[in-house]
Amino acid sequence: MIYVMFMLLFGLVLGLVAVASNPSPYFAALGLVVVAGMGCGVLVGHGGPFLSLVLFLIYLGGMLVVFAYSAALVADPYPESWGSRPVVVYMVVYMVVVILASSFFWGGWYESLEVMEDEIEGFSVFRGDTAGVALMYSFGGGMLLVSGWVLLLTLFVVLELTRGLSRGALRAV
């Protein structure tokens, strides 16, 4: 199980590097899907399959909307792919930064991967992730409104960042 978690975390870091290094929204959206899948796999490994499924479905739905808006507004005739020279340079630089940062924090990080959440308590009727979802729906109404507002603001920030020099369809902004 430790090797599976290691591979999921390694895929998560590679997906994050792919998102950070690619200026084109077409390929960056694919990297975000990989990051969402790997992150949800890490959640499943730590004992949260229901939360992982809900997060994966909601995140992919939100990414579909952001990708549709950014692809419609950023009409780039020749997008940069993962094989182009500037993207490869950015990927190498980001991987060097990740390796240097991980060498700084290397000692004993893998010991926490062995403990699963469901094995901590004995016999329980509720799982940890489903009880958390019930608590979120009972006391989280205000936080839901704040989260919706933050997601709307994030959508406009992403559209502003991905439109590039051609100004796209947002000419009045």
Question: Which domains are delineated in the chain?
Answer: 2-166 (1.20.120)
Q: Crossing angle of helices 49-73/25-45, nearest 10°?
A: 180
Token pair for 93? 């630089």
Token pair for 18? 């792919």
Q: pLDDT tens track of the chain, all 173 residues?
A: 778 888 998 899 888 888 888 777 777 777 788 888 898 898 888 777 777 888 888 877 777 777 777 677 666 677 777 778 888 898 899 999 988 988 887 766 655 555 555 555 566 666 666 666 666 677 777 877 888 899 888 888 877 776 666 655 555 54
Do 129 and 49 meet the contact criterion of CB atoms below 8 Å apart? yes
The type of residue at 113 is: L
The type of residue at 134 is: A
Residues 14, 78, 80, CA angle at the centre, nearest 5°? 20
